[in-house]
Amino acid sequence: MQNQPHAAPLAAGKGLTMPKMLGVAAFLAFVFAAVPMFIAATGRWDFYYTLTSVALLSIGAAGVWLTFYIGRINIGQGAYALAGGYVSAVLITQAGVSFWLTLPLAGLFCALISVLIGLPILRLRGVYFAMVTLVLTEVARLTALALPVTNGAKGITSIPLPGGVSVFGITLIPDFATLQNPRQAFYFAAIGLMILVYVILWRIVNSRLGHLCRSLQQNEELSASIGVNTAWLRIMAYAISSFFGGVAGAMFVSISQSIYPSSFVVQDSVNFMLYCFLGGLGYVFGPMLGTLLLYFGWDLLSVAGKYQLLIYSGAMITLMLVLPNGVLSLFDRKGGGK
């Protein structure tokens, strides 16, 4: 991880230029206007679920990207997505808490767990940290199987749809159960949440905290020698990463209205990491693009039948060799973000 590319151009700390602002405006117009118009015209309402899944997966991948940013490989994000999902499900079904309140609570619970786990393992070198995180998802699955509150292998089902939110008699969020098409509402909620997460991530990277985190990525010993609290930075980044994973898991539970110990497995944790690689480790919005490409790419390869996994693996290896800085490096005129 010592030679990982800088998180530029989107993390260069130079603010929003006019081309970037136009790009953001075009993106917002596309996801909030063009996509709904296309779905309404074609009648393919299933696209809402697909795109909602992509948005939520990209939120989890954003957290994994942040741990890459401090020079650590995180292969355990699926554990926090599963934990966040169960926290939300338990609070909704057994405590009657509003779904919208369970979102931050699920994230905070995962952040707390990550701090307890991260205190000892974040002191390890990158390779050892990666190996430890690899088992976290399986540990979370076995814990969900064993605890009475999670209902074991039966999981938690019949989770109600999100209720409405009103302030001074003004409805801010409608009751999803009363909507004719809740899939569209989930799509807007997931896209809005994704945009908020990536704005926060972009702001972190372009702040003093982000610059300090980048110093860890390059040389931890040098950073510590000039007074940087490397342990605190690693814990902070890992907690934020896990918070994103917990929020994504909680949102998934509301959409599926159920959760099981197998809802997130080790393969999901690996995929979160691959989304970052494919989009570009040197770009804040790399995980978002990587999630989109990998999700739809896998579905398109289904026509290959039994050769689907072989072609998929070969394509991933080829892309990493040809574009080591990710797909977004194709649009970087400065070459790889340097």
Model pLDDT for residues 188-207, shown as the tens digit of each residue:
999 999 999 999 999 999 98
Q: Which of 91, 114, 111 is nearest to 102 (CA)?
A: 91
Q: What's the rounded mean pLDDT across residues 247-275?
A: 94
Structure pTM? 0.89
Model pLDDT for residues 127-140, shown as the tens digit of each residue = 778 888 889 999 99
Q: What's the rounded mean pLDDT across residues 212-223?
A: 76
Q: What's the rounded mean pLDDT across residues 172-182?
A: 89
Three-state SS across the chain? CCCCCCCCCCCCCCCCCHHHHHHHHHHHHHHHHHHHHHHHHHCCCHHHHHHHHHHHHHHHHHHHHHHHHCCCCCCCHHHHHHHHHHHHHHHHHHHCCCHHHHHHHHHHHHHHHHHHHHHHHCCCCHHHHHHHHHCHHHHHHHHHHHCHHHCHHHCECCCCCCCCEEECCEEEECCHHHCCCHHHHHHHHHHHHHHHHHHHHHHHHCCHHHHHHHHHHHCHHHHHHCCCCHHHHHHHHHHHHHHHHHHHHHHHHHHHCCECCCCCCHHHHHHHHHHHHHHCCCCCCHHHHHHHHHHHHHHHHHHHHHHHHHHHHHHHHHHHHHCCCCHHHHHCCCCCCC
Terminal C-alpha separation, the chain? 16
pLDDT score at 101: 96
CATH number for the region 43-331 comes to 1.10.3470
Q: Which of 106, 254, 249 is nearest to 176 (CA)?
A: 254
Q: What's the rounded mean pLDDT across residues 5-34?
A: 67
Answer yes or no: are the C-beta atoms of 183 and 49 closer than 8 Å.
Answer: yes
Model pLDDT for residues 57-98, shown as the tens digit of each residue = 999 999 999 999 988 889 999 999 999 999 999 999 999 999
Give the span between the Cα atoms of 162 and 179, in whole angstroms.
Answer: 11
Q: Which of 34, 25, 149, 30 is nearest to 94 (CA)?
A: 149
Q: Which of 287, 295, 279 is nearest to 329 (CA)?
A: 279
The pLDDT confidence band at residue 156, using thresholds 50, 70 and 90, is: very high
pLDDT at 153 over 90: yes
**Residue at 6: amino acid letter:** H
pLDDT at 228 over 80: no
pLDDT at 5 over 50: no
Mean pLDDT for all residues in the chain: 87
Q: What's the rounded mean pLDDT across residues 109-124?
A: 89
pLDDT at 22 over 60: yes
pLDDT at 332 over 60: yes
pLDDT score at 6: 42
pLDDT at 210 over 90: no
Give the span between the Cα atoms of 173 and 164, in whole angstroms.
Answer: 5
Q: Which of 109, 212, 91 is nearest to 162 (CA)?
A: 91
pLDDT at 11 over 50: no
pLDDT score at 126: 65
